[in-house]
Chains A and B, each alone.
Chain A
Amino acid sequence: MEVPILKQGHYLIASIQSALTDADLSQLREALIERVGKYRSRGVIVDVTALDVMDSFAVRTLRDIAHMARLRGAETVIVGIQPEVAFAMVQLGLTLKGVSTALDLEEGLAFLDRQARERIERVQGRIPRG
């Protein structure tokens, strides 16, 4: 089951629609990293609202996506982790350390906008680098 990837301005939005196999997750990773270059995207949102389970493979793949996208100049934010899923993830010991998260798509977009604004302000010297 392929995950649809939408291009919205400088951002890519991948919204997962149903349970994904490991192969689907790996395919999503390749597709997103390829498209970050193709569309010169600055941000990636992965919407996992529809995922009813996040196991170690899913978490590792999301982490890889975020780290690879960053190496390609795009910021990633994972949105829509459900409360039960968050609970099970913590029990499993899965943390998504180093990966930005937001409550939902709206918050995710706001987060990326904020990041972009700060980047511009930094270039203009209004915020000290650091």
Chain B
Amino acid sequence: MAEELLVPIAADVDVVSARQKGRELAAEAGFSSGDQTVIAAAISEIARNILMYAKRGEIVLRVVMNGDLDGVVIVARDQGPGIPDVARALQDGYSTSGGLGLGLPGARRLMDDFDVASTPGKGTTVTMKKWRRRHA
């Protein structure tokens, strides 16, 4: 399972397509339908962030294995304005766009691993992972 999917994000239909593809990939990787929903919701939030702050970018979806764990890795990349204060952007209710301010912190709660790398003026990369124990 070395599958990798790239979803360009440039319009609101792409947000829907990214989360649907994420759900399909999670299903192929053996995640429960509850976890598929969680993964799809997290993708929806970070895909919308790309649209809102950077106008365009891309999401890469991948299935990975680590010991007896299967996982999905979601990388969201853009060359937008970047996040000046990542720690603050990860706080509940903090938003510079008039949104609910739950996108990044909410997505972090939904996933197992979550990392934000951002350079102001250069762009932002969010990497998040969800794991499941492989049943023998």
Question: Which residues of A are at the interface with B, using a C-beta cutoff of 8 A?
Answer: 19-23, 52-57, 59-60, 82-85, 87-89, 91-94
How many residues of B are counted as interface, with CB atoms below 8 angstroms from the partner's CB atoms?
27
Q: How far is the CA of A39 from the CA of B20 in the complex (A)?
A: 36
Closest-CB distance, B66 to chain A (whole angstroms): 23
Contact A53 B44 (CB under 8 A): yes
Q: Which residues of B contact A (CB under 8 A)?
A: 12-13, 15-16, 19-20, 23, 33-34, 36-38, 40-41, 44-45, 48, 92, 99-100, 102-103, 105-107, 109-110
Q: State whether B13 touches A53 (Cβ < 8 A).
A: no
Contact of A53 among B40, B103, B105, B107 (CB under 8 A): B40
Which residues of chain B have C-beta atoms less than 8 A from A53's C-beta? Answer: 19, 23, 37, 40-41, 44
List 20 other contacts, CB 8 Å, given A54-B41, A84-B36, A89-B41.
A21-B12, A21-B13, A22-B48, A52-B40, A53-B23, A56-B45, A56-B106, A57-B99, A82-B37, A84-B34, A85-B37, A87-B37, A88-B40, A91-B41, A91-B109, A92-B45, A92-B102, A92-B110, A93-B109, A94-B106
Residues on A with beta carbons closer than 8 Å to the beta carbon of B38: 84, 87-88, 91
The contact sample of 16 A-B pairs, CB cut-off 8 A, is A19-B16, A22-B12, A23-B12, A52-B40, A54-B41, A55-B45, A56-B48, A56-B99, A57-B48, A57-B99, A85-B37, A92-B102, A92-B106, A92-B107, A93-B92, A94-B102
A60 touches B100 (CB 8 A): yes
Q: Which residues of A contact B23 (CB under 8 A)?
A: 52-53
Q: How far is the CA of A54 from the CA of B38 in the complex (A)?
A: 10
- Chain B contacts for A83, CB-based, 8 A: 34
Whether B106 and A93, one on each chain, are in contact in the complex, defined by CB atoms closer than 8 angstroms, is yes
Q: Do A88 and B37 form a contact, CB below 8 Å, given A56-B102, A93-B102?
A: yes
A54–B105 Cα gap in the complex (Å)? 16
A91 touches B110 (CB 8 A): yes
* Minimum CB–CB distance for B15 against chain A, Å: 7
Q: A102 CA to B18 CA in the complex, in Å?
A: 30
Q: What's the nearest-Cβ distance from chain B to residue A48, in Å?
A: 13
